A and B are shown apart, each in its own frame.
Chain A
Amino acid sequence: GESVGLHLPTLSVQEGDNSIINCAYSNSASDYFIWYKQESGKGPQFIIDIRSNMDKRQGQRVTVLLNKTVKHLSLQIAATQPGDSAVYFCAENTLNSGNTPLVFGKGTRLSVIA
Chain B
Amino acid sequence: GAVVSQHPSRVICKSGTSVKIECRSLDFQATTMFWYRQFPKQSLMLMATSNEGSKATYEQGVEKDKFLINHASLTLSTLTVTSAHPEDSSFYICSARRLAGASTDTQYFGPGTRLTVL
Contacts and interface: CB of A to CB of B under 8 A. Distances in A.
Interface of A: 2-8, 32, 34, 36, 41-46, 49, 89, 91, 93, 95-97, 99, 101-102, 104-107
Contact of B112 (A5, A42, A96): A42
Contacts of B109: 36, 43-46
Contacts of B51: 99
Interface stretch (B12-20, B37-45, B72-80, B81-89): B37-45
Contact of A5 (B6, B31, B42, B44): B42
A102 B107 CA distance: 8
A34 B32 contact: no
A36 B44 CA distance: 11
Interface in B53-68: 57, 59
A105 to B, nearest CB: 7
